[in-house]
Structures are given as C-alpha cells and as structure tokens.
Structure 1
Amino acid sequence: MAESSEYLTATAQAYDAMAVRYAEHVNALAGRMPLDQAMLTAFAQFVRTAGAGPVADLGCGPGHLTAGLRDLGVDAFGMDLSAEMIRLATAAYPDLRFEVGSMRDLDLPDGGLGGVLSSYSLIHVPPVELPPYFTEFHRVLAPGGHLLLGFFESEGEPVTVFDHRVTPAYRWPVDRLAGLARDAGFEEVARLLRRPQEGERFGQGYLLMRRP
C-alpha cells in the first residue's frame, strides 16, 4: 500500500513536536486507569494462551504499553510513525525493540504475529482511509491471533472529528468500528466502554477481536 497520504506525514510531524510532553502525560496516567489495564491484561492472557507469536504495539508512542505487555509475559515490540517517539521509547526501555514505521504498510510477514495492539493509534486516520488498516492487521496476524483497539467513543453519534491535543482525531461509534473489523475477517471477543474520567472530555472504548 502506497504511503502517499498527507495525514501520515502530518501525524508524524505533530507527534515529533509533542513527543516529550506526550510522554510526560501518559506517564502521569500510570495506575489511574484500572479498566484500561484490565483490557490490556486480558489481551495479554489471550495472546499467551494462543501461543501464536509476538505482539506488535502499533503506534507505540513512548513505549509504555510495549513495556506493559512485556511485564505481562508477552514478547512485544513497538512501532510508531514518529521518530522522536521511537527515540524516547528506546531510551526508556533499551531492552525492547522499537522501530519507525507505518501500520498501514507493515514490513512484516503474513501470519507472523500472535497479537496486534493499536491503542489510540487509529484515531488520526480519516474514516475513508481506515479499512486498509484492518486488512493489514488481519494479514500479519496468525490464525487465532488477537487484535486490541483503543479509541475515543462517539456515544451513538456519527464518526466525529475533534481537536485532539496533538493533531485532529476521530471519535467512533463502537458498532461501526467493530463492523469494519468484521468486514476485514475478524470476530469480536469483547468490548468495553467507559465514561470519561476526571480531566477527560470523551468516553473511551476498547474492542478485542480475533482472527479465526
């Protein structure tokens, strides 16, 4: 898939510019999101049980969730569009593998992964551009592999653009996002929706999907 879309360049540049502040923000949230952590823990358990291969943390940012998966007993590596984010992740977790790359066109073999984590990394993709990402996730996952998506939920409204602190992003109705994943060949395992916590503007969601 060609890497010609302007939003990819804009997203990478925006996160390069905000990388240090963004890393400070996510580090400050450590231990404050028990429901989010529960979904990550469940995802890790499914991956370990299936034993289908390593996990790619796509859009890994400063690497905190890649390290979290490692601490949960999962063989994980991280990838991000932002070179500055990868620099911070590598400095913080030198024992883990991180690389610059796009989840739209993964330099990974077919069926080589046991899991894909996409935690709030699809939120900047324009809706019309999103289906190929699910096709790519399906391609790199082994049969029985799992996909965990984190996103901002639009609470029954249409897909809605908003002024994310880094670069414009989209809120999704959970059923519509799940439908895109099903269209790519995934089956739903679980979903979680939670209300905004203090300091958050929107509800948040997680979808746990499986490649049959």
Structure 2
Amino acid sequence: MKTLTADEIERLRGYNPTRYQIYLVKMNINGNFIYLTDRDSPVSHAGAIYQPGYITADSIDDIEVTSEPSTNEFSLTLDVRDGAFIPYFLNKGWNNSEVTIYEQHGDESGVILTLNVFEGFIDSRDVIKKTRKIDVVLASVWADFEKQAGTKTNSGSQQKHFPEDTAFDHVARAKRKIYWGKNAPVASSSGGSSGSGRFSSPNNTQRV
C-alpha cells in the first residue's frame, strides 16, 4: 500500500476545483495490449499510453473497493465506431483475457494517487453492430473459486469447450425462449392439425 505524504493527503482532502478522478483500463487479448482511459486526453502510466475516446465514466459500472476478495461481475462498454478493437473480439481467444483497471486521482500539480481497483478477465461480450459498441462482462480473478461445473449460455463459456462455436453471439437478441439442457414443453392442442409452425418437420420425407 502506498504511503501518502502530508501534501498528497491535503490535496486529496481539501477542496480543489482542478482535482480529477479517472479510470485506466488495460486489456491483454491474445498478447495484444489495449490501453484505454475515460479522460479526454492521453494518459501516461507505468510506461504505457492510455488512449481516450473509447470509454467514458458512464461506460464502467461502479467498482466497489473492499478489503475482502470480491467475485462480483460488472460491465464495460467500448465505443468502436472507428472499427478499432472489433477484430480482437471476433477472433477466438478473447475470452478469459486479462483485464486490469486503475483509478487515478490528480490535480493541476500532477498525479496524486493511482489505485489498482480491479483485476480479472473477460467472461463474455456482445458486439452490437447497430450502435457500434461492444458490451464486455468482466469477472474478478476470484470468480474462478465460485464457478460451478457446466457450460453457461454465453459465448465465453461455450468457446472454452468449442472455440469455433459462435452460436451464442446471436441468441441474446432472439425472441424465442431457449431451453438449455432439457426438452421444450409440448403444448397441448384440441384441434386436429398435426403441424405447429410454418415449416415442415425436418424428419418428414416428401415423395414426388
């Protein structure tokens, strides 16, 4: 834990209209490091330049800093209207990518304090073409200790077992209810019709 000087403590406690709080997000996707900040200008930290324009303060769910390990998930929304980062999330290998988030405090005199407020991985993502955004669900490094066996109904979980399967990229916007791991209930009918939809059963064979 960093020890603050008396001057730094005063800069944090006292009223200062120039004081700011920003987030720095570092992602490692298949060995490609992405550095983002919600500030309106580039930020240099630990030898890396964090780029603005892709996240805002509203893009990140509230992060609760506690003294005990937390397993909560939260979301991060990326603005990718310029096409940046989309290939990283369309190619296989994005799930379980490492993510670190820092909270930095500073003022006109410079940086006061930078805290590591989150370490975890990408659990799932949803590429929204209409708005040119990517919703990313992040899970804490402690989440693995509470995971249950089985596959979840999202791309991240599915691609851990079947890397090429992208079916769950689309089901989030589907209208029909999907029954996972069990048969769908059969609706009763008092009529004499044997069909339940506009398409013939794929098991039927038509003769010419």
The interval holding the TM-score normalised by the smaller chain is under 0.3
With structure 1 as the length reference, what TM-score do the two structures score? 0.27
Structure 1 or 2: more helix by fraction: 1
Q: Which has the higher contact order (CA 8 A, sep 6+)?
A: 1
Name the one with the larger strand percent.
Answer: 2
